[in-house]
Amino acid sequence: MNQEPVGLIAFGFKKVGKKYRRSINVARFFLGSVISAKSKPIFEAKISKDVALNVLEKLNMRFSSRGDDVLEIYSDADLRRIVVYTGVRQFVRDNTKARDWLEVIEAMGDLEVLFWYTKFLYSFERIGYWGVYRVAKSITTLYKL
């Protein structure tokens, strides 16, 4: 591909829990085409690579794989849509509701996606995980998921 990627999704593990330490899958979203040791993610979601690949294929987004744990995204609109999808999907455990959420995100307009994308990034930067949870909760309430 000749085009430069607008964003990257890096998959890895994160240790969570104070009393019961455990590792969870995490997807970190970066702007640009390079990840360095000092790069700070714009967003982070607790999802596996399989979930992300599934939604990228279902929504016909243009992406490519760079190694085992990095995906390149080539469109700003696709990056925003995947951030919004994963922001809510990490809190949805029921598979039926997850399919419903995929249909909702597919039907959303670009302006609506941009609104929720901005809310997610702001909450992640200012508050962290629980700020993202509040935004996701408001989306699940609004769309009756």
Q: What's the token pair of residue 66?
A: 């760079």
Q: State residue 91's pLDDT score.
A: 92
Q: By CB neighbour count within 10 A (0-12 exposed, 13-18 middle, 19+ buried), where does 124 fall?
A: buried
- Looking at the predicted structure, is the pLDDT value of residue 2 above 70? no
pLDDT in tens, 79-103: 999 999 999 999 998 888 888 999 9
Q: How many CA atoms lie within 13 A of 138 on its CB side?
A: 11
- Looking at the predicted structure, is the pLDDT value of residue 1 above 80? no
pLDDT in tens, 98-139: 889 999 999 999 999 999 999 999 999 999 889 999 999 999
Q: Which residue has the tokens 């039907």?
A: 107
Q: Is pLDDT larger for residue 51 or for residue 33?
A: 51
Report if pTM > 0.85. yes
| Rounded average pLDDT over 33-49 | 87
Q: State residue 5's pLDDT score.
A: 87
Q: Phi, psi (5° rounding) for residue 144?
A: 55, 50
